[in-house]
Amino acid sequence: MDEEGWYSVTPEEIAIKQAQRCRGKVVIDCFSGVGGNTIQFAKVCSSVVAIDIDPMKTAFAMNNAKVYGVANRIDFVTGDFMQLAPCLKGDVLFLSPPWGGPTYSKVESYKLDMLLPRDGYSLFQTALSITPNIIMFLPKNVDLAQLEELAWLSSPPLTLEIEESCVGGEIKAITAYFKSNPTLSSRVDSLTHESHNMTKSMKLKKRSRLKKGIKSTIKKENGSSHKYWIQRYDLFSRYDQGIEMDEEGWYSVTPEVIAIKQAQRCRGKVVIDCFSGVGGNTIQFAKVCSSVVAIDIDPVKVELAMNNAMVYGVANCVDFVIGDFIQLAPSLKVIFLLLSISFIYISAFLTISFDPFVVVALMY
Ligand SMILES: C[S@@+](CC[C@H](N)C(=O)[O-])C[C@H]1O[C@@H](n2cnc3c(N)ncnc32)[C@H](O)[C@@H]1O
């Protein structure tokens, strides 16, 4: 081992466990170092590609793999994972990037942008272009909410399992296992065809709406709208991909990071978004819930929400309803009910009796 190897190699007990999860697969160890993980993968996987940017590390890893008698099961590559990524194919990607030296333990909450050679989000996106089956080996003080975000914000969303990686019963690190969610993926796939047809009719409607003079965006750099405009990516991270809003939408849409958290609490349920507006909540529910009904009294809002749900590729997971929630309520069957309402409406809703769980989100 070289100096860095001593503090960066994955302890064998942990590497064995991580490898067991990849049994029989083709694994790419993207930051292989002196081979701690590579060797264990080679023992149980169908083949292993071990990449490290440092030729000395590759030489050490080859030597160490020979010691374990597995060198012939590994393709060693000296190179930059970020540059090699477009040419890589594999079943599982293992990421144990540098944590930034021993100081990682000094911070209370380790953020993904502290990872090297690039921030964790870029690394993850690069990995995702190869396979959704990604394993990340991270400091034990890593911000778990950021890991959840990686999973939720993938399209389609991924499942995430966090494992405490221990040596002799003591937690040394965290291993995050990401993989595709077959239920959601197959639903999105099977409905893609319908989505194309809807896109066509939406385009026609959009044209007529614009003719009628309905404002679709407020790209003003000055005046009262400016403060909303600069927050556009907080409202919709895919803003530039065709998101549309009316004037009210700008100040009433639930910011995406909040909508994601609310949706997490409803995973797998049937959700009725009773005041869906331009779709901030609806979209996030559609990503993780078994089905979503989106109700709004304003037909323009419903049309905008449909457009925005299409931008996120989830329009077909949502039943859009133009109507008055108060009037529709008696006929709604609810597992989870989201009331994203302004205070003035609260008393009206409290007079309606719903027996199941009620989530009240007061956004204003
Ligand atoms: C934490 S160590 C990996 C330890 C390894 N899992 C083990 O058990 O031995 C991180 C490694 O990433 C390598 N590295 C840094 N930047 C890289 C890049 N852009 N592409 C590939 N490897 C890189 C470093 O040389 C270092 O050996």
DSSP 266: T
State in Å: Cα 31 to ligand 1 middle: 4
Question: Which stretches of 12-157 are assigned E, i.e. beta strand?
Answer: 26-29, 47-52, 74-78, 92-95, 134-139
Which residue type occupies 285? F
Residue 9's pLDDT band (cuts 50, 70, 90): very high
State in Å: Cα 35 to ligand 1 middle: 9
Ligand 1 within 6 A of CB of 9: yes
Calculate the average pLDDT of the chain: 83
Ligand 1 within 6 A of CB of 117: yes
> Per residue in 53-92, pLDDT tens?
999 999 999 999 999 999 999 999 999 999 999 999 999 9
Residues of the chain with CATH 3.40.50.150: 3-180, 187-362
For 73, residues 6+ apart whose C-beta sits below 8 A from its C-beta are 42, 45, 47, 48
Listing DSSP states for 119-158 in one string gives -HHHHHHHHHTT-S-EEEEEETTB-HHHHHHHHHHSSS-E
State in Å: Cα 10 to ligand 1 middle: 11
Mutate to test the pocket of ligand 1, among 6, 8, 142 (most ligand atoms within 8 A of CB): 8
**Who wins on pLDDT, 157 or 164?**
164
State in Å: Cα 144 to ligand 1 middle: 22
Please state, in angstroms and rounded to a whole number, the distance separating the CA atoms of residues 5 and 35. 9
Residue 185's pLDDT band (cuts 50, 70, 90): low
DSSP 279: S
Class of domain 3-180: alpha beta
pTM listed for this prediction: 0.59
Ligand 1 within 6 A of CB of 33: yes
Mutate to test the pocket of ligand 1, among 3, 27, 53, 81 (most ligand atoms within 8 A of CB): 53
State in Å: Cα 84 to ligand 1 middle: 14
Domain covering 187-362 in this structure, CATH number: 3.40.50.150
